[in-house]
Amino acid sequence: AVPLAPRPQATFADLSADEVQTIGAEQAVVRAAHHHRRAGVPAGQQHRGRADDGARHGDALLLAAAQVAGERLHAVAQAHLLQRGSGDRDSRRFLEDLEMMGVDYGLSVSDYHTSMVATVPTGHLLPTLEIFSDLIQRPWLPESQLEETRLVCCQEIRGIEDDLAHKAISAVRLKHYGHPFGQSGSGTLEGVAAIDLEDVRSFCRRHYRPKGMILAVAGNFDWASLVDEVGLLFGGMQAQ
């Protein structure tokens, strides 16, 4: 268990960059361990078998530690665009490569981080990290997909309108924390319509960088191999 120290709500909006990174590291470890337990992997157990037999190797959780409060809509738009192509993979190959390995992955945006988490079958942890490294370092962010991204964001906003419980929680959060930390991550229809691709690309350049990026892995994996692979995949990233 990783103890999470309570933080006064009154100073929530005044966190320093170091405090943000500490929170992210705590969340990364907790979430990786949670997904690992949910996958049902006993500690230290060796797995042998096919990718689809339910045996899990570990969970790779990659967090781009960015203070996105006030720019959260750009982060949400980028999260959608990231999956439209990166490196030498278009959106179809991106999904096919993960599915062929039996990887269960998710991508989400919070006030502080864009999170990529994957439950990975035996033997596929390092190839999954390679795909994630492309998302972080070589996203296409294609202009041709921007309008479709807007439509997806609008659908999410309209879906919330039909969810009274979600609307109530969002209203309480905004009342308690104020703007920008209490705002809805989905934004507004007006905000979505105003999304500019260059703003999204600028967000990527400013926030997807080595400083503050967190990698947490839980499960049965080889530490030395993981360290070597992370160095190869992310060692060339330039600090900004």
Alpha-carbon span 86 to 149, nearest angstrom: 16
Q: How confident is the model at residue 8 (pLDDT cuts 50, 70, 90)?
A: very low
Spatial distance between the Cα atoms of 240 and 74, rounded to a whole number of angstroms: 19
What's the whole-number average pLDDT of the chain?
76
Q: Contact at 8 Å (CB) between 153 and 76? A: yes
Query: 6 Cβ partners below 8 Å, 6+ apart?
Result: none
Q: So what's the pLDDT on residue 26?
A: 58
pLDDT reading at 97 higher than 70: yes
Please say if the pLDDT value at position 115 is more than 90: no
pLDDT at 207: 82
Which pLDDT value is given to residue 59? 59
Residue 27 scores a pLDDT above 70:
no
**Residue 41: what are its φ and ψ, rounded to 5°?**
-100, 110
Position 69 scores a pLDDT of 53
Mean pLDDT across the stretch 137-154?
Answer: 92
Looking at the chain, the whole-number percentage of residues with pLDDT higher than 70 is 68
Q: pTM for the complete prediction?
A: 0.73
Residue type, position 143, single letter? E
Q: Which residues touch 85 (CB under 8 Å, ≥6 apart)?
A: 91, 94, 139, 140, 142
Q: What is the mean pLDDT of residues 54-83?
A: 66
**Which has more confidence, 163 or 42?**
163
Asked if the model's pLDDT at residue 88 lies above 80, the reply is: yes
Q: Please report the pLDDT score of residue 211 as a whole number.
A: 78
Residue 173 vs residue 66, higher pLDDT: 173
Q: Which residue has the higher pLDDT, 153 or 29?
A: 153
How crowded is residue 235: how many other Cβ atoms within 10 Å of its Cβ? Answer: 8
Higher pLDDT, 128 or 181: 128
Pairing status of strand 56-65 against strand 113-121: antiparallel
| Per-residue pLDDT, 9 | 46
Q: What is the pLDDT of residue 162?
A: 85
Quote the pLDDT of residue 2.
45
